[in-house]
Amino acid sequence: MSRRRSVPLSIALILAASAAHAQEANQVSPVLILPPTNPPKMVSTYPAQGATVAPGVLILKVAFDQQMSPSAWNYAPAPDVTPMDCVKTPRLLSDQKTFVLLCRVLGNRDYGVTFNAQRAGGFANLGDNPAETAALTFKVGADDPVTTLRRAMDAAGLKSDQMPVQDAPRATGDAARG
């Protein structure tokens, strides 16, 4: 009797192993593998390197040569210049290559920013390849100050749909009532 039981049991084990292997072979991995890419290069900025701009509201703009990740960025004050007073988070525009950042600058000062001062977690393309560290320095003159967002956007060459900040979506339902 023990022989009869061992044959069906061993067949059952083989069938179970085959079924488990078939299930594993049919599973799809949720991992997206992108081909290797070159590090993104900064192709333009506003203000331009070494330029002189008016004091007041300033929209810092940096464009890269590749589509960029909207959640990967870091910037820090450049050495030996006045740090800018900016909102914390830059906005990636719809071209997926240009970031804008709302700032305030004072007259008769030199300002600068270092992009990807720490490459890890910094500006990166869609393949998570970080851009090289780059510094931008510029001067602020004593002209009449820019006092409106519209004038700052015009100076940076931005259209009305390229605001440096966006409104948060309105809360609806029970969460909005508290």
The pLDDT value given to residue 135 = 94
Would you state the pLDDT for residue 166? 73
The token pair at 39 is 């590090």
Query: What is the model's pLDDT at position 16?
Result: 56
DSSP 103-162: EEE-SSEEEEEEETSSSTTSSBBTT--BPPPEEEEEEE-SSPPB-SHHHHHHHTT--TT-
- Per-residue pLDDT reduced to its tens digit, 122-162: 999 998 999 999 999 999 999 999 999 999 999 999 999 99
User: Cα(29)–Cα(51) distance, rounded to whole angstroms?
Assistant: 50
Contacts of 21 (CB under 8 A, 6+ apart): none
Q: Is the pLDDT of residue 2 over 70?
A: no
**Tokens describing residue 74:** 């870091």
Dihedral sign of CA atoms 60, 66, 67, 68 in order: negative
Q: What is the pLDDT of residue 17?
A: 56
Q: Which of these CATH numbers, 2.60.40.2230, 3.90.1070.10, 3.40.640.10, 2.60.40.1220, describes 42-155? A: 2.60.40.1220
Provide the pLDDT for residue 81: 94
Q: What pLDDT sits at residue 119? A: 79
pLDDT value for 156: 97
Q: What is the pLDDT of residue 129?
A: 92
pLDDT bin (cut points 50, 70, 90) of residue 88 is: very high
- Is the Cα dihedral 50, 106, 160, 66 positive or negative? positive
Task: Look at residue 37 in the predicted model and tell me its pLDDT.
Answer: 82
DSSP character for 29? Answer: -
Residue 121: its pLDDT value, please? 83
In this prediction, residue 23 carries a pLDDT of 52
d(CA 102, CA 115): 15
**Cβ distance 116 to 122 under 8 Å?**
yes
pLDDT at 19: 54
